[in-house]
Structure 1
Amino acid sequence: MQAQGFAIVARNLKLGRLEIDIVARRDALAVMVEVRARGRTAFERPLASVAGRKRMHLVRAAERLWRLHLAKVAGVERMRIDVAGVTFGRDGVADVEYIAGAITA
């Protein structure tokens, strides 16, 4: 994200019982990123684990983030929810799949 001009604003941000992995900003855009990681032998791919209830929790967290924090920040006009899926290989090297705007309300 930093290579694309985003500044990391927060990591592991707690909003009550909800947690946001990464919050980043570039100009008027704020991005909330859910990071899902799995080992090479996992039954389910990391991105597949973001379904149903998890999506609902992410939307709720995004709404709370906007209401409590981002709406008050000068220059922030919009936000999106991205998802990063990380799979670790046998050699420990991470393969990252990234979906910008993965979840919409």
Structure 2
Amino acid sequence: MKIRIARELSKKYGVDYYEIDNLVWDRSGENLRYSIEARDAQLEEILDQPSWILEGVHYKWGQESFEKADLIVILRPNRVFRDSSKPIISNRLRICM
């Protein structure tokens, strides 16, 4: 659901979105971790842009993104609701946005 919302907001507002997991994991091969230096450099490059949307939960090392954000959205749906209603949420999201 998080990625879906990030994509929809990105399309609606013309702002690039980034999945935080892709700053941690090198998806080109065997899902190896980037070095901490490479990860932090990628994050800094994103944060230097005038607008961005970040999707993810790596809050400890991404603290600077919280400090630079104009808006932070935290999703905490009830587990029963979340697991049973993904199609409903996806369809409603498209209509509401």
Question: Above 0.5 in TM-score?
Answer: no
Please state which structure has a larger fraction of its residues in helix.
2
Structure with more contact order per residue of length (Cα contacts < 8 Å, sep ≥ 6)? 2
Normalising by structure 1, report the TM-score.
Answer: 0.32
Please state which structure has a larger fraction of its residues in strand.
1
Could you say which structure has the larger radius of gyration? 2
